[in-house]
């Protein structure tokens, strides 16, 4: 009777080279001196880091603005100025040389105390490629930070909804380092491709899902000047790109040679066909009301404060906002529509065979797309980067540095867009942890037989409404004002209700129900 033979031979230990040794040494030393500092007051570090990035982004836009206004406009007046041409190879066409910048600056109000160093710093700022590299770097950073912290936040919100704490241990204050730690753990996991799977397709699928959500960030405006590429068809571009994400999911399901993944892929295909049209039609309604497809154009219409927002401009846009939100849940495979990766039926749907870094790529794509969808919703329906206070109130502040900072915070700036999209994200998190999952035929029924006709009616209604309001007769403008007031107050009631419930919950929060026995039971 033989002891059962071990078919698996352990792989030979891999002789790690110079590079990996250096990386390990670096990591250990960083951990050595950083750990005591971070573990003492992690919360303060985290919050100051967030504030620092916000101020950094703002200062970067101020610098670029200053260079544009002060240097380049002034330089155009100089006779021998040649605009920085695109071909980087010939130095002669490199635009303003440092000496020219110095000359311009000397007679400017900027103190001449800083010698030539500033000229060399300012010189590259005038080229478009430098700006795009900085912009792309910022987008890559945002694209990485958002999923990491939305995942952590979702686990905290889920904990709170389920009367538990959520991650509390990693990194100290409320487990803020939980997702980065998970990320590192996932990178270290074994790079597994199942036998019989279609190797190249299996490896390609995660990238086909993550690139579209990255592309969507290109045309997404975060503020009046904070946009990498100002497209006049930004809305259609983002919808098209997010639509392309489905191909990656279907390939992932198909290539992993697992029946459950195939089911996941088929469900994703059905769901995609059913939600794509209602979502597009729902976004068409505000476009009809405003008249342009460019997101900046749509946002500029909504500067007049809370009641000027499109969601409250007419009943059709209000209903379109709700329809869009529901259809976007289906597009993100979340909450009641999370059939493609249904844990209880399909084990894990199309990601069953994925593990480690590839698996985390899928979830990067999902959470990034979630943020893009919420950002579009807040730009198109909820006034984008304009605050509830009408912009006209902030007119008198002038345009000094402090004044621009104040208007950015109070009246219109990227902070407001982040507030709104993060709030919509918060709503999506509630839905996931309270609602059960619906069946695939109910998804098709709700999207095709309910949402589609509804959005068609809304589009028709919006056309009639805009046609009527072009006549600008007195009666109609009073009707419009009335609807804005009514719908705006409905919105206020919702927000007030939310704050009241949150306050009530906070006021009545009870100590976490402890262990009954240990409290009183003698001798136990």
Partner 1 sequence: MAPEEICKLLTTEFTDAIVKTVVEGAHPYVQVSPDRWPDVARFLCDDSRLGMNLLRSISALDLLSDDRLACVYDLMRIVVDRPDVLITETHEFAIRVETDRNEPVIPSVADVWPAADWHEREAYDLMGIRFTDHPDLRRILCPDDWEGYPLRKDYEFPLEYHGIPATTEYELPNPRH
Partner 2 sequence: MTMADTVLESAPDLLVDTDRVEQGDLRTEEMLVNMGPQHPSTHGVLRVVLRTDGEMVLEAIPHIGYLHRCAEKIGESLAPYQYIPYTDRMDYLAGMNNNQAFAIAVERLCGLEVPARAQAIRVVFAEFNRIASHLVSLGTYGLDMGAFTPFLYCFREREMILDLFEAACGARLTYSYITVGGIHEDLPAGWVERCLEFLDYFEPKIDDYNNLLSFNHIFVKRTAGVGVVSVDEAIAYGLTGPPLRGSGIRWDLRKVLPYDGYEMYDFDVPIARSGGTDEIPHGVVVGDCWSRYYVRVLEMTQSVRIMRQALANLPDGDTEAKKIKNLKLPDDEVYVGIENPRGQLGFYVRGDGSTIPSRVKARGPSFCNLSITTPLCRNVMLADVPAIIGSIDVVMGEVDR
Partner 3 sequence: MSIDRVNQLSSTCVRRRFALAPALLVLGVTLLCGTRAMASSGGEVVTTAAEPGSLLEVVLFYAVATMTIVSSVAVCMSKNIVRMALWLFMTLASVSFLYFLLAANFLASIQLVVYAGGTLVLLVFGVMLTNKSPWARYTPGKLELVGAAAVCSVLLVALWLVFLRAEWSRLPGAFAGTSVADLGRSLLSVYVVPFEVAGVLLMIVMVGAAHLARQDK
4 binds, among partner 1, partner 2, partner 3, none (CB under 5 to 8 A by kind): partner 1
440 binds, among partner 3, partner 1, partner 2, none (CB under 5 to 8 A by kind): partner 2
Q: What is the DSSP letter of 97?
A: -
Q: Which of residues 3-32 bind partner 1 (CB under 8 A)?
A: 3-4
**Tokens 């990034």 belong to which residue?**
368
**HEC string of 109-173?**
CCCCCCCCHHHHHHHHHCCHHHHHHHHHHHHHHHHHHHHHHHHHHHHHHHHHHCCCCCCCCCCCH
Smallest Cα–Cα separation from 412: which of 378, 386, 388, 380? 386
Distance in angstroms (rounded) separating the CA atoms of residues 422 and 430: 13
Q: Which is nearer to partner 1, 3 or 92 (CB)?
A: 3
3 binds, among partner 1, partner 2, partner 3, none (CB under 5 to 8 A by kind): partner 1
CA distances to 145, 207, 361 from 203, rounded to whole Å, are: 24, 8, 11
Q: Which is nearer to partner 2, 78 or 165 (CB)?
A: 165
User: Residues with Cβ < 8 Å from 232, sequence gap 6 or more?
Assistant: 292, 293, 294, 297
**What radius of gyration do the chain's Cα atoms show?**
27
Task: Out of 54, 57, 145, 247, point to the residue binding partner 3 (CB under 8 A).
Answer: 247
Longest Cα–Cα distance of the chain, Å, equals: 99
**Tokens 């709170």 belong to which residue?**
160
Q: What is the closest distance, in whole angstroms, from the C-beta atom of residue 274 to partner 2 in the complex?
A: 14
CB-based contact 179:170 (threshold 8 Å) = no
Q: Which residues pair with 386 in a beta bridge?
A: 412
Q: Which is nearer to partner 2, 71 or 440 (CB)?
A: 440
Distance in angstroms (rounded) separating the CA atoms of residues 224 and 398: 17
**Tokens standing for residue 285:** 């309604």
Q: Which is nearer to partner 1, 8 or 128 (CB)?
A: 8
Pattern of binders to partner 3 over 207-246, x per CB under 8 A? x---x--xx--x---------xxxxxx--xx-xxx-xx-x
**Tokens standing for residue 38:** 């971070």
**HEC string of 35-56?**
HHHHHHCHHHHHHHHHHHHHHH
Q: Which of residues 406-465 bind partner 2 (CB under 8 A)?
A: 433-442
**Tokens standing for residue 189:** 């996991």
User: Residues with Cβ < 8 Å from 190, sequence gap 6 or more?
Assistant: 355, 356
347 binds, among partner 3, partner 1, partner 2, none (CB under 5 to 8 A by kind): partner 2
Residue 517 in the binding site for partner 2 (CB under 8 A): yes
Q: Which of residues 323-362 bind partner 2 (CB under 8 A)?
A: 336, 338-339, 342-345, 347
Pattern of binders to partner 3 over 57-96, x per CB under 8 A? --------------------------x-xxx-x-------
Q: Which is nearer to partner 1, 6 or 86 (CB)?
A: 6
Residue 467 in the binding site for partner 3 (CB under 8 A): no
Task: Out of 5, 28, 109, 163, point to the residue binding partner 2 (CB under 8 A).
Answer: 163
14 binds, among partner 3, partner 2, partner 1, none (CB under 5 to 8 A by kind): partner 3
Task: Out of 1, 6, 51, 188, point to the residue binding partner 3 (CB under 8 A).
Answer: 188
Smallest Cα–Cα separation from 135: which of 127, 336, 351? 127
Smallest Cα–Cα separation from 485: which of 323, 336, 313, 279? 313
Q: Which stretch binds partner 1 (CB under 8 A): 1-9, 142-150, 416-424, 448-456?
A: 1-9
Backbone angles phi, psi at 76, to 5 degrees: -60, -30
Distance in angstroms (rounded) separating the CA atoms of residues 62 and 60: 5
**Tokens standing for residue 362:** 């899928």
Site size for partner 1, by CB under 8 A?
Answer: 4
Distance in angstroms (rounded) separating the CA atoms of residues 157 and 84: 50
Residue 524 in the binding site for partner 1 (CB under 8 A): no
Q: What is the closest distance, in whole angstroms, from the C-beta atom of residue 461 to partner 3 in the complex?
A: 20
21 binds, among partner 2, partner 1, partner 3, none (CB under 5 to 8 A by kind): partner 3
Q: What is the closest distance, in whole angstroms, from the C-beta atom of residue 3 to partner 1 in the complex?
A: 8
441 binds, among partner 3, partner 1, partner 2, none (CB under 5 to 8 A by kind): partner 2
Q: Which is nearer to partner 3, 164 or 189 (CB)?
A: 189
Q: Which is nearer to partner 2, 1 or 517 (CB)?
A: 517
Residue 468: enclosing H or E segment and its boundaries?
helix 452-470
CB-based contact 335:329 (threshold 8 Å) = yes
Residues that bind partner 3 (CB under 8 A): 13-14, 16-17, 19-21, 23-24, 27, 83, 85-87, 89, 128-129, 132-133, 136, 140, 187-188, 191, 198, 201, 204, 207, 211, 214-215, 218, 228-233, 236-237, 239-241, 243-244, 246-247, 250-251, 254-255, 262, 266, 269, 272-273, 276, 280, 292-294, 297, 357
Residues that bind partner 1 (CB under 8 A): 1-4
Residues that bind partner 2 (CB under 8 A): 158, 161-164, 196, 257, 259-260, 263, 266, 336, 338-339, 342-345, 347, 433-442, 513, 515-518, 520-524
């Amino acid at each position: 009777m033989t002891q059962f033979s071990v078919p698996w031979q352990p792989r030979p230990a891999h002789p790690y080279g110079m590079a990996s040794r250096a990386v390990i040494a670096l990591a250990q030393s960083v951990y050595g001196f950083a750990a005591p500092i971070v573990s003492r007051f992690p919360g303060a570090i985290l919050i100051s880091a967030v504030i620092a990035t916000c101020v950094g982004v703002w200062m970067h836009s101020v610098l670029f603005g200053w260079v544009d206004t002060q240097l380049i406009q002034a330089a155009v007046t100089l006779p021998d100025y040649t605009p920085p041409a695109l071909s980087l190879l010939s130095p002669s066409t490199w635009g303003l040389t440092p000496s020219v910048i110095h000359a311009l600056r000397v007679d400017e109000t900027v103190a001449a105390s800083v010698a030539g160093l500033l000229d060399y710093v300012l010189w590259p700022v005038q080229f478009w490629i430098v700006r795009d590299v900085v912009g792309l770097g910022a987008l890559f950073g945002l694209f990485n930070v958002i999923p990491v912290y939305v995942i952590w936040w979702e686990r905290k919100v889920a904990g709170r909804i389920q009367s538990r704490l959520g991650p509390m241990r990693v990194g100290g204050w409320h487990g803020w380092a939980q997702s980065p730690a998970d990320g590192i753990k996932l990178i270290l996991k074994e790079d597994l491709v199942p036998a019989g799977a279609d190797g190249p397709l299996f490896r390609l699928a995660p990238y086909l899902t993550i690139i579209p959500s990255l592309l969507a960030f290109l045309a997404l405006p975060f503020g009046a000047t904070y946009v990498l590429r100002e497209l006049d068809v930004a809305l259609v571009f983002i919808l098209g790109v997010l639509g392309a994400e489905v191909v990656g999911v279907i390939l992932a399901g198909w290539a992993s040679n697992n029946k459950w993944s195939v089911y996941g892929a088929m469900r994703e295909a059905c769901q995609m066909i059913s939600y794509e049209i209602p979502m597009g039609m729902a976004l068409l309604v505000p476009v009809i009301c405003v008249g342009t497809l460019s997101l900046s154009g749509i946002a500029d219409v909504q500067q007049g404060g809370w009641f000027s927002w499109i969601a409250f401009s007419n009943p059709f846009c209000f209903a379109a906002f709700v329809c869009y939100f529901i259809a976007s849940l289906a597009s993100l495979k979340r909450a009641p529509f999370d059939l493609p990766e249904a844990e209880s039926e399909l084990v894990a749907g199309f990601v069953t065979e994925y593990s480690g870094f590839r698996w985390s790529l899928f979830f990067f794509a999902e959470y990034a797309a979630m943020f893009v969808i919420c950002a579009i919703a807040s730009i198109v329906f909820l006034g984008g980067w304009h605050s509830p206070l009408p912009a006209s109130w902030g007119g008198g502040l002038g345009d000094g540095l402090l004044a621009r900072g104040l208007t950015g915070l109070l009246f219109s700036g990227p902070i407001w867009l982040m507030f709104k999209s993060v709030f919509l994200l918060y709503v999506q998190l509630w839905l996931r942890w309270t609602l059960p999952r619906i069946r695939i035929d109910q998804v098709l029924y709700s999207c095709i037989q309910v949402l589609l006709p509804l959005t068609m009616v809304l589009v028709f209604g919006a056309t009639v409404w805009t046609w009527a309001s072009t006549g600008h007769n007195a009666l109609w403008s009073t009707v419009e004002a009335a609807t804005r007031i009514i719908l705006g107050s409905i919105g206020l009631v919702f927000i007030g209700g939310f704050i009241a419930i949150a306050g009530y919950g906070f006021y009545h929060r009870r100590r976490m129900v402890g262990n009954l026995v240990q409290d009183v039971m003698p001798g136990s």
